[in-house]
Amino acid sequence: MRNYLNSKNIEAEIVSEILLKAASEPEFRKRLIRNPEKILECYSISREAKHIIQKSIRDLMQ
């Protein structure tokens, strides 16, 4: 159970880093919006985490 929680914490940190990078770096944000699958395949995160990032980006666009 401890390893599971640790990996979820690490994943949450990665998601936060990606969203902060998108907020602070316009070029990265543009690429993430344009082709999220390609950008997110570079990160070792779950499909659920990738979905959260994509949803967050879409919500910001509205």
- What's the predicted TM-score (pTM) here? 0.82
pLDDT at 58: 83
For residue range 4-39, list pLDDT tens digits in order.
Answer: 667 789 999 999 999 999 989 999 999 999 999 999
42 in helix, strand or coil?
A: coil
pLDDT at 6: 74
- Report the interhelical angle of 47-61 vs 26-34 (nearest 10°): 110
For the cut 90, the answer to whether the pLDDT of residue 57 exceeds it is: no
Angstrom distance (rounded) from CA 57 to CA 14:
15
Domain of residue 6 covers 2-61
Number of domains, the chain: 1
**Band (61; pLDDT cuts 50, 70, 90):** confident
pLDDT at 2: 63
